[in-house]
Amino acid sequence: MLNNKNCPIILLGDSGVGKSSITLKFIRDTFEDVYNPTFENSYIAELDINYGEKIRLEILDTAGQEDFINLRDHYARIGEAFILVYSITCRGSFNEMKHIKENITNIKQCTDVPMILVGNKVDLSNTERKVSIEEGKSLARSFGCAFIETSAKENINIEETFKTLVNDWKKSKERKVN
Ligand code: GDP
Ligand code: MG
């Protein structure tokens, strides 16, 4: 029964952190150095998780400039699994994570919401890192969710991010059924 259900995934985080790049790397295996700010794009994809089981994903890549509080609330409402993205080169984008997480928890009225905390641009780790791995891990622990550092540019942990999240989403569904 669960296999017929789509997994609605939403990417949230400040603009410029790499939400679109992560999405496009995952969907099309492409990467652009040129910044192309987008409003909102949605994609359908199929992901193989354990033992050849396929899950259909509905991925919503958001703009990161949700001027209207309503839009944020709307995303929190329609998503079932969330990718919270910051850039390891931008402290401000990391600080934003707790606000986004609180908003989701408030809207859902539930703390068991599948999400993963992602520190992107790990390829710039040697020269431009502003947020340590430990800080990322510790924040994810406080959220009760998984943590991963990625690079859309060098294709590090991109598929892993989606697989981890979808597995958590599946487990959460099963908990709610039982
Ligand atoms: P969004 O606003 O969150 O969707 O961010 P984008 O995906 O548009 O990326 C913003 C900028 O960061 C673009 O210039 C990308 O090329 C760059 N970028 C995204 N991901 C990475 C990454 O993993 N490493 C590096 N070095 N640059 C990245
Ligand atoms: Mg974008």
At residue 4, the pLDDT reads 56
pTM of the model: 0.94
d(CA 99, CA 103): 6
pLDDT band at 70 (very low <50, low <70, confident <90, very high): confident
**Closest ligand 1 atom number to CA of residue 156:** 23
At residue 67, the pLDDT reads 63
Q: Output the six-digit token pair for 169.
A: 């989403």
pLDDT band at 154 (very low <50, low <70, confident <90, very high): very high
Classified as helix, coil or strand, 13 is coil
Q: Is the pLDDT at 17 greater than 90, yes or no?
A: yes
Q: Is the ipTM of this complex over 0.85?
A: yes
Any atom of ligand 1 within 6 Å of the Cβ of 124: yes
Span 22-26, average pLDDT: 97
Any atom of ligand 1 within 6 Å of the Cβ of 123: yes
